[in-house]
Amino acid sequence: MKLVVAEKPSVGRDIARVLDCRERGEGFVKNDQYVITWAVGHLVSLCEPDEMDENYKKWRMETLPMLPEHIPTKVLPKTKKQFTVIKKWLNDKSIDSVICATDAGREGELIFRLIYEQAGCKKPVERLWISSMTDEAIREGFDTLKPSSEYEGLYRSAKCRSVADWLVGMNASRAFTLRFNVLLSIGRVQTPTLAILVRRYHEIADFKPEEYYTLTCSFGDYQGTWFDEKVKEEKLASRIKTRAAADAVAQRVKGRDGRVESISREEKRELAPQLYDLTSLQRDANSKLGFTADKTLKITQELYEKWKAVTYPRTDSRYLPMDMLPRVKQTLTKLPMEYQEAVKNIPWKDGKLPFSKRVFDNAKVSDHHAIIPTPQTAPVDKLPADARKIYDLIARRTVAAFYPPMVYEAVKIVTQVDMDKFKTTGRIIKDLGWKQVYGGEKADEVLPELAENDLRKVQKTSVKKEATKPPAPHTDASLLAAMENAGRELKDEELREQMKGSGLGTPATRAAIIERLVQVGYAMRKGRAIHATEKGVRLIAIAPDEVASPETTGRWELALHEIAENRRDTVRFMEGIRRLSAFLVEYAKTTDKQGDFPAEEKRYGKGGKRKGTASAKQLADCACPLCGKPVMESARAFGCSAWREGCRFTLWKDGLTRGGGPVLNDKIVQLLLKNKQVAGSTGTLTLTQDTLSFVHKDGSGGASVPIRYEKKNG
């Protein structure tokens, strides 16, 4: 028999249904050929420092840097039961080989390999690699299983990423927290992303608006804007520095005859936008719908897994492989009825789709192709409203990709009044092309029939006061673009394509990184805008470029990309990460920079004394786990009411936020003290006699803090 390991129960059940496995057991489904079991995200993770060495339990500068040659792994307590099920089957004598059916990407590969290694399994492994969850795609995937060896580079990349984040995050967060007496979270990708927000914060704060004036003249049936032909940059050419100068021009042209000096017409084409990868979909959904990157990812993942309506979402490719041409035709013809008129108007050639290298290019398809609808007609009437909106974006983009460009005529008229010149622009649409998929385009700007040397009298002048504007705050859309391009603002799509692999994070992780910055208090949302907070600005002020520079981190990401493609050695990469971790600790120890963090961020009072509890209130039905006395809540922490008698039980409200954990509130603490474990939407909290720990829902990262308050020395 073959054992199939999926990443989550819902995917496991889908595979079991396709393979006709009906015999159900605890955590698995089987028939006489296959046993289907599943993880629940990450079941195995890297150990916390104090789980490796008791000396690391207390945060002390003298124990840093922590640079173990090998970081052991552990089975996560909350999912130990399911790990035991998988381990039993991995080592069962009836199982001849294993099929890895976790998510077809870097993290999915890591999830399976950690389970496989932790279970001590040595059986041969094949890889199910699919880009759609339809029944047809699953069957085809099982007919074309790949040797696990083909994904060795992907696993090495995932493992290097995991260990690198542990080394940099654990060492830098402890070192900077101890040095600046403030709980600080430093991350290999998180911190340079924050630096992008802080850079924009300073650009806005330092911006000094400059006033200028524009002059518009009415020539009766059209208007023109004054411009200086000596100024080459178009947006600067129409600016007049002072009101007096603008009024002087208006006065000298008023009532005078203008002569049409030139009329230029240029045919232009606007190509259809390329298919979506995850980042471009998230950017569009943010710009058009106001969705955060995280919301778009979750909705698209549900469209993929639950509704089988779109292909694999966590992709960085905007192309399709050549052999998908016939299948895409089937996909388009099976789209819901509301898209069929647009499908019919595609310029089919003898019943075949038009071929375009902007759509089909084997060389530009990565692990997964672009996001498109599946050939399975989506039940649009059953989709939740927001899922319907995301599906609509994907469906229309897919149809539009096969349309011709929009063709229009750009018209420019220059009218001269004595020595002054006025510019009039407009456009005439010749062919809507792909724009018709989106309901057309705004009406043409109507211009009169004119010929060169025609005369038109200046009938009216208007001087308008304007001012230069600061850069706009980042949104999810612009921040995703900056992350993808390692902080560079690239508008050219071709250049953006070349930068792939050297950005910050991956399409699958960028949304979580943005949410993490908000969660730990380094960023905040105001409407659609994302701003750096004062704490975030202070952190970047003290952080060295080695961990804060987007460009530097982009090079680390490129190295991981090359490891996945078997083009780079892992040993040199990890040596570099260890040097970086040691450098960050030494930097924290020796820097003379002053953090000057807001007072409310300080974890300790003057001289290391615990802050008072004048405003503390008692938690109902909660006993201290160390001495049994009542538990109190203050502004910053939960602690034992007997602290004056020496009980040191303390849970800082923000103690776990460095690892992405929640800010503790009274309800969470009451449940923890009662049940010792609380599972939330983002992960699980576990309280022991010594520590409070948090593990993310997918098993990645997390944090652990002591529950006994210790005075700081000195």
Long-range contacts of 528-531 (CB under 8 A, 24+ apart): 528/286, 528/290, 528/475, 528/476, 529/472, 529/473, 529/474, 529/475, 530/197, 530/473, 530/474, 530/475, 530/476, 530/479, 531/197, 531/201, 531/473, 531/474
Dihedral angle computed from the Cα positions of residues 110, 112, 114 and 118, in that order, rounded to the nearest 10 degrees: 180
Structural tokens at position 435: 């724009």
Q: Which residue has the tokens 């932790």?
A: 118
Q: Give the Cα separation of 5 and 143 in Å (integer).
A: 17
Q: Tell me the CA distances in angstroms from 135 to 139, 263, 323, 324, 377, one per residue in order.
A: 6, 60, 19, 17, 13
Structural tokens at position 266: 């240029």
Contact in structure between 705 and 692 (CB atoms under 8 Å): yes
Say if strands 28-30 and 146-147 run parallel, antiparallel, or are unpaired: unpaired
Q: Give the Cα separation of 373 and 307 in Å (integer).
A: 11
Contact in structure between 209 and 470 (CB atoms under 8 Å): yes
Q: Which helix (H) or strand (E) holds 190?
A: helix 190-205
At 338, give phi and psi (nearest 5°): -65, -15
Structural tokens at position 347: 């310029």
Spatial CB neighbours of 161, under 8 Å, sequence gap ≥ 6: 106, 560
Helix, coil or strand: residue 211:
strand
Q: At CA 315, angle to CA 313 and CA 321, rounded to 5?
A: 105
Structural tokens at position 366: 């990565």
Q: At CA 660, angle to CA 11 and CA 277, rounded to 5?
A: 50
Helix, coil or strand: residue 695:
strand
Spatial CB neighbours of 169, under 8 Å, sequence gap ≥ 6: 185, 186, 187, 188, 659, 701
Of 511, 488, 438, 434, nearest in space to 274 by CA: 434
Structural tokens at position 242: 């002072």
Q: Reply yes or no on whether 222 is catalytic.
A: no
Q: Give the Cα separation of 278 and 502 in Å (integer).
A: 16
Q: Which helix (H) or strand (E) holds 166?
A: helix 152-180
Edge-to-edge order in the sheet of strand 617-623: 617-623, 630-633, 637-640, 650-652
Structural tokens at position 481: 């673009």
Q: Give the Cα separation of 690 and 670 in Å (integer).
A: 17
End-to-end CA distance of the chain: 64
Query: What percent of the residues of the chain are helix, what percent strand, and what percent coil, each to the nearest 5?
Result: 40, 20, 40
Q: Tell me the CA distances in angstroms from 72 to 84, 118, 159, one per residue in order.
A: 18, 10, 12
Long-range contacts of 244-247 (CB under 8 A, 24+ apart): 245/213, 246/213, 246/214, 246/215, 246/463, 247/463
Count other Cβ atoms within 10 Å, centred on residue 623: 14
Question: One of 56, 116, 276, 312 is an active-site residue; which one?
Answer: 312
* Catalytic annotation, residues: 312
